[in-house]
A and B are shown apart, each in its own frame.
Chain A
Amino acid sequence: MSMPTYLGMPAFPEAAAEALANPQLRRNLAHATGTIRTKRAAAVAELTDWDELRAAAKAIKDHTLANLDHYLLQLEEKVTAAGGQVHWADGAAEANAIVASLTRAAGTDTVVKVKSMATQETGLNEALAAEGITAIETDLAELIVQLGRDRPSHILVPAIHRNRAEIREIFRREMPDAPAGLTDDPAELAAAARSHLRRAFLSATVGVSGANFAIAETGSLVVLESEGNGRMCLTLPETLISVVGIEKLLPSWRDLEVFLALLPRSSTAERMNPYISTWTGVRPGDGPRAFHLVLLDNGRTTALADKIGRQALRCIKCSACLNVCPVYERVGGHAYGSPYPGPIGAILTPQLRGMSSAADQALPYASTLCGACYDVCPVAINIPEALVHLRSLAVDSRRHARFQTDFPAERLALGAVAWTLRGRRRLAFAQRAASASRKLFGASGSAAWTRRLPLLGGWTRTRNLPVPPPESFRAWWARTRQDDASPDSPPEIAPGLPSPGTAPRQTGSGTADE
């Protein structure tokens, strides 16, 4: 249950403040997410049965997750029967150790990698480096991130925060075989990366991949990609090691059809991906001679035990929720302190890592609950519902924590508000106090003292406070309308509306103290 490379990063609010101050980043993100949002909407609109596909995908994933024990064993049996070897990894360190020892056993100190979220999660590249093994990322964007000694900031477009001028600088600085007069023309940049990578593909003897799907009935794996680098890594090396989260399972090939309709349109706004590679074990004379499947838990079974949180395991890593998220669009992916940024990261990361750190407790709060993510999710993950649920877990775990200095103030403030709201007389008293103080707020709520308030300081730095009115609504009602709602008059039953069937409560009247 760890993501070693992200330890010690600042919590979301602090990390976001840094990102917000970078105008180049803001422009890069707004342009990229805006473009993909529009394209995705058009690609999805082409399918008249999108809602049915979405419901089917949700049902298939829920069924698979509920029967994971069965399908995992079926997968293991089929992979083994097809000449592959299955390894079970409880956590990140275990998965990394398995890959390192398999690489050493293959007699090499270099691996080529297909873009993979699971190995980002385990920090595989760093772990291999510590063992003296070099991992070469072959996805163009992952290569840019790796050469820039950077971190990915998007699930699908890891270098979304970089523009082409920045990419040219990285290539010129870090790629020894980059052409002398390299410009920032996209075709030139791609050609430079292509010839740089070609050497690695042709000499590598071990390839490392993840998988988008693992099909239990035949023990097959499926990778979707756009550049063809994946196909190279999956077919050229003698040994292939695939690190796959246990939630990636599908029972059958028939189920895959639903996801092949949903995933490309949701992620790259394409009708189909340029490359879809599938393989089953090993086959003499065709592709790798050894195949290893590392099945990764790393917190997934803990998430599975949570009734509301488990829906995050349906995720197929399409990134549609990142692209529509107004928070992600303004801060980018690094602020989330995890390979899984954006709305899905805010519910997945704290479940995989646990909620013991301030950073993980802050993640479920990195959302306005606007719901745009839920609308676009191809597997109907109710992200707002999960966020609110995880917030309550964060509050529970913070009760005992000392490091969250603003927490006692927040708890006290919300406790006081809850106490006030539990009785109408308390509320009326608070409203009268607010009205009596209205002159202190200055013209349109801009008085200087409001900017020094604890908790509310974040609000008043950029926004005026509302000025309390001379009287509350309930005071107005009591003064002008009290007689309209005599306690003795029962509510009429309107035609066409179902009868409540019970006697109305005598709530229409206020008392003199209101």
Chain B
Amino acid sequence: MRIALFVTCLTDTLYPEAGKSVVRVLDRLGHQVVFPMEQTCCGQLHFNTGYRAQSLPLVRGFAEAFGGFDAIVTPSASCAAMVREYHPQLAEESGDRGLARAVAEITPRVHELSMLLTDVLGVTDVGASFPHRVTYHPSCHSLRMLRIGDAPLRLLRSVRGLDLSELPAADVCCGFGGTFSVKNPGVSAAMCADKCAAVLSTGADVLCAADSSCLMHIGGALARQRAGVTTMHLAEILASTR
């Protein structure tokens, strides 16, 4: 299948390894990945902070970049949720019926990586090998907006050599919340402290998630504490081979 990659502005700019890993995994499974160069951002940062008007040009840009593909994959559950849940609403509000039509056609084809692999492509074993102890943080938007369930866990359980430790209170938010982390830094840090304690209690070497944003947050705190736990995107683990 020819699959367009929506890499997201955060992954593009700060975590390119996660994007490259998506390409490697899909390559290995025999699919062709296309990267529409016009893409930038889904607009979630502005939308969620209340700058609704500034997110509309980004919705338009997304529709222009991704029109005409059968499937669009993204290594972010949060951005996928933004596109699927709020792009249609914003396009509708704009009064631009052409845009609303384009968005309605595109959004059902936007899949978070683990959903694309398990639901659309029907794969749980992607031929990866990663002999380390890993714990998985299910991001809020993956759980409660996209409802991806245990798709990432099924993928991780099929990775050779991977020792999966269950994360206590896994479904509790890490405290990132986009601009929440700087607008309410104290509460955000308190939530992150509890998440870090849960991660450390598992004895895992690697913390994994389907969102680079949560990993940036938890990883930033773990690094400040010199905790010795690495953060890796799900795609990076799935791309690892012997």
Any B CB within 8 A of the CB of A39: no
A431 contacts B192, C-beta separation under 8 Å: no
| Smallest beta-carbon distance A52→chain B, Å | 19
Which of B13, B45, B55, B68 has a CB less than 8 Å from the CB of A502? B68
Bound-complex Cα distance A417 to B46 (A) = 9
Bound-complex Cα distance A330 to B172 (A) = 12
B42-76 with Cβ < 8 A to chain A: 43, 45-52, 54-55, 57-58, 61, 64-71
Number of residues in A with C-beta < 8 Å to the partner? 83
A456-498 CB contact bits vs B (8 Å, 1 = yes)? 1111011111101101111011100100110000011110011
A503: B residues at CB distance < 8 A: 68
Any A CB within 8 A of the CB of B118: no
A497 touching B220 in the complex, CB below 8 Å, given contacts A374-B144, A418-B54: no
Bound-complex Cα distance A476 to B192 (A) = 32
| Smallest beta-carbon distance B235→chain A, Å | 12
Bound-complex Cα distance A510 to B141 (A) = 31
Bound-complex Cα distance A484 to B31 (A) = 12
Any B CB within 8 A of the CB of A423: yes
Bound-complex Cα distance A16 to B36 (A) = 44
B35 contacts A481, C-beta separation under 8 Å: yes
Which of A368, A391, A494 has a CB less than 8 Å from the CB of B173? A368
A372 touching B144 in the complex, CB below 8 Å, given contacts A414-B45, A469-B16: yes
Any B CB within 8 A of the CB of A508: yes
Which of B16, B58, B144, B189 has a CB less than 8 Å from the CB of A462? B189
A394 touching B50 in the complex, CB below 8 Å, given contacts A424-B38, A462-B192, A508-B36: yes
Which of B109, B179, B191, B223 has a CB less than 8 Å from the CB of A464? B223
A492 touching B181 in the complex, CB below 8 Å, given contacts A20-B187, A484-B32, A505-B67: no
Any A CB within 8 A of the CB of B185: yes
With both beta carbons as reference points, the residue of chain B lying nearest to A492 in the complex is identified as: B2
Bound-complex Cα distance A340 to B161 (A) = 50
Given A326-B175, A422-B40, A423-B40, 16 extra CB contacts under 8 A: A16-B186, A364-B50, A365-B183, A368-B188, A395-B49, A427-B9, A464-B224, A473-B19, A473-B20, A481-B23, A491-B70, A494-B71, A497-B70, A497-B109, A507-B38, A508-B34
18 A–B pairs (Cβ distance < 8 Å), ordered by A: A365-B183, A368-B176, A395-B51, A417-B46, A418-B57, A418-B58, A422-B40, A424-B37, A462-B189, A462-B192, A462-B224, A484-B32, A492-B32, A493-B70, A498-B70, A500-B70, A502-B67, A503-B68
Residues of A within 8 A of B (CB): 12-13, 16-17, 20, 26, 326-327, 330-331, 364-372, 374-375, 388, 391-395, 410, 414-415, 417-418, 421-424, 427, 430-431, 434, 444-446, 455-459, 461-466, 468-469, 471-474, 476-478, 481, 484-485, 491-494, 497-498, 500, 502-505, 507-511, 514
